[in-house]
Structure 1
Amino acid sequence: MDLMESFFVALGAAAVVYYGTKLVLFSRMLFPKLCFPLTDTFFTAMGEWAVVTGASEGIGRAYAHALAERGMNVVIMSRTKDKLDRVAKEIGNSTGQKVKVMVTDFINENIFGEIEDQLKDLNIGVLVNNVGMLPSIFPCRFLESEELEKTITKVINCNVKTMVKMCKTILPGMETRGKGLILNISSGIASVPCPLYTLYGSSKVFVERFSQALQAEYRHRGVIIQAIAPFGVSTQMTCYQRTSTVTLSPEDFVKSSLQYIRAGDKTNGSICHTVLAWIMQSIPCKILQAECVLRRVQDFVKEKAAKEGLSRTSRVSLENGRNK
């Protein structure tokens, strides 16, 4: 009995330490300015320029504005020139910073040579890999995806290859200077296996693992690399859901996420999304993946899309970054 009693006492003590540590770590998230302080010159000290992919709207646009407001010149990249020009004008008028527009479609092959040529002479201190593609707003099983072969290539090119190639282009300069910041935008749905968004969710798992491994490799070189995994943000990708405590505007999400840059190699960008991630991970996968739950998800998205006037063939292959 003494042995069994000692075992259970030790087990209880381990549980208390484990959950106590998680509580302490969580409490730090409540006070980011105190626990993860940044100087007023943090961003400009990294370099003169910030590069933001998928910057024509949504989260990417919000990051471009936020970094310019903090004194950085910005390179904004997307596939739609009219939208980029509009964003560039907004940033220039409101902040007085320089804005360089680069029109490119990240689902295409062999575009990175030209990107390297246009960026090679810039002192780039911040890279935000925000561009992302959701094949369809309508959740469906993998084999039911329209034009599946093309969709596979597009998602990998946009969500995976682009991030890796942009890091390859910009990280060497950061390593040489011994400073830099790379933010790779993942998604909250990467917290658990996500049926009906299988290809998209899996691509975001890659974003997280790549970012965390890269941070381990280059932390000692002075480069900060972080994956950011938001849940609901009111963008085109989420049918512009009404903002709430859980669904944030792009501007509010970005403002929050920038407070957690020193919080580790992965964050959810806001306290409410951190809580959501914990809830998701605590629910057994068998429940989340139950057939009745999957059908309800499909019905919910269809109802939401109908209210927004979107057809079954609508595509959100974007550019406005994360989220959901």
Structure 2
Amino acid sequence: MTAEVAVMGSGAWGTAMAKVIADLGHHVVLWSRREALADAINQDRENGEYLPGWRLPESLVATADPVFAVAEANTVLLATPAQSLRTNLESWGGAIKPGTLLLSLAKGLERGTKLRMTEVVEEVLGRPTGEIAVLSGPNLALEVAAGQPSGAAIACSDESAALALQRLCSGPNFRVYTNDDVVGVELAGVVKNVIALACGIASGFGYGQNTLAVLITRGLAEITRLGVAMGAKASTFSGLAGVGDLVATCTSPLSRNRAFGVRLGLGEAAKAATGGPHGVVEGYASCGAVRELAADHGVEMPITEAVYQVCHEGAAVREAVESLMGRKIGAE
């Protein structure tokens, strides 16, 4: 039996997930905020702007009408940038049918509120937490669209909902695992972007593999400390949503966050670097909120602090590195 699925957001990741699900035989409506892009997708059978070169199946239809997109859907994937999710939900979220499963694909914290995306959905739509899930993992959009073997975790407080979403999204080359740790899976997807910025900055500045290994390892420690302080399971950060996503995002040239960091490390100003390839750099947008969460929970996150100083306070890369290396040493 095919499912009616709406994917709200036609960026690279939203389009890749729409393709995965449509390739499995489901009917998918992909919403774009721009009518010209929706028309081009329907005509060319590819998203030439965000995911060029990958043909989209006939069972996928694009639209610029959000109400039409969600009207018949029994599952809605939320793939808009984190900072615009609230505005979007306030605009068209009321058209989503009661009982529809909602799956967040965004990896960011809302600035100002410091809310995770599942919390934003719950607050705006008033839906029970058992209908709201998050997907995260080492999911570089171009590789997933190409059908390269990949995996992800879907976390939801309701096991039956997580299993339903697992069945919907799992395919021959996209292996999905379920998890009940929504906080851990979601938070890992947020903070890894900040650590990836640090790795990009270090690479752009000329540092080598030893430095990257230290940043990834100590970055994982930062993510885990904050997650546990917020009620997540430590074991979550050893899985796909934790170390898996962290390694992919920190090392791949396909990672927008890493690429943005490289430009900062090469000496570009943060405002200039935001004019890079298509897509939102969630680590840049969310690092301030992550820093505030760390302060709220009394958690030390020196790498996050250094990234924030470089991105938003104008600190020089060398100063940030010297600050990190000059910290008091202790037991690992």
Task: Give the structure-1-normalised TM-score.
Answer: 0.37
Higher relative contact order (CA closer than 8 Å, sequence separation 6+): 1
Q: Which is greater in Rg?
A: 1
Task: Give the structure-2-normalised TM-score.
Answer: 0.36
